[in-house]
């Protein structure tokens, strides 16, 4: 039977593992965000106003406003 690890060592191990996990996941998230931006931009260029909910959500994040306040002119300026 294994010896019990002290609380301090368990907490240090958990903190170290979490830091590694955040670093690894951060790289993956940035990569996914870049590919999502390219995909959504292509959908906006190909589509017409109003867009699908996924595109609406992306546009609201990019423009920093709720979608029901976003105008077609704002979307056209984003595409330029």
| pLDDT given for residue 32 in this prediction | 96
The answer to whether position 47 is within a domain reads yes
Q: Is residue 2 part of a domain?
A: no
Split into its structural domains, the chain has a count of 1
CA 58, CA 33: separation in Å to the nearest integer? 11
**pLDDT tens figures, 33-73:** 999 999 999 999 998 888 999 999 999 999 999 999 999 99
> Would 15 be classed as within a structural domain?
yes
Residue 5 has pLDDT above 80, yes or no: yes
Length of the chain equals: 80
Check whether 14 has a pLDDT greater than 80: yes
Sort 66 into a burial class: Cβ within 10 Å, 0-12 / 13-18 / 19+: exposed
Looking at the domain assignment, is residue 44 inside a domain? yes
Residue 1 falls inside a structural domain:
no
The tokens for 52 are 């699908």
> What domain range is 57 assigned to?
7-79
Question: Which residues lie below 8 Å from residue 58, measured CB to CB, with a gap of 6+?
Answer: 36, 37, 40
Residue 43 covered by a domain? yes
């Amino acid at each position: 039977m294994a010896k019990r690890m002290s609380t301090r060592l368990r907490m240090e191990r958990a903190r170290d593992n979490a830091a590694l996990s955040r670093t690894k996941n951060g790289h993956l998230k940035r990569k996914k965000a870049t590919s999502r931006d390219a995909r959504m931009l292509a959908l906006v260029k190909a589509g017409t106003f109003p867009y699908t909910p996924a595109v609406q959500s992306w546009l609201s994040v990019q423009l920093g406003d709720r979608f029901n306040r976003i105008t077609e002119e704002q979307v056209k300026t984003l595409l330029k």
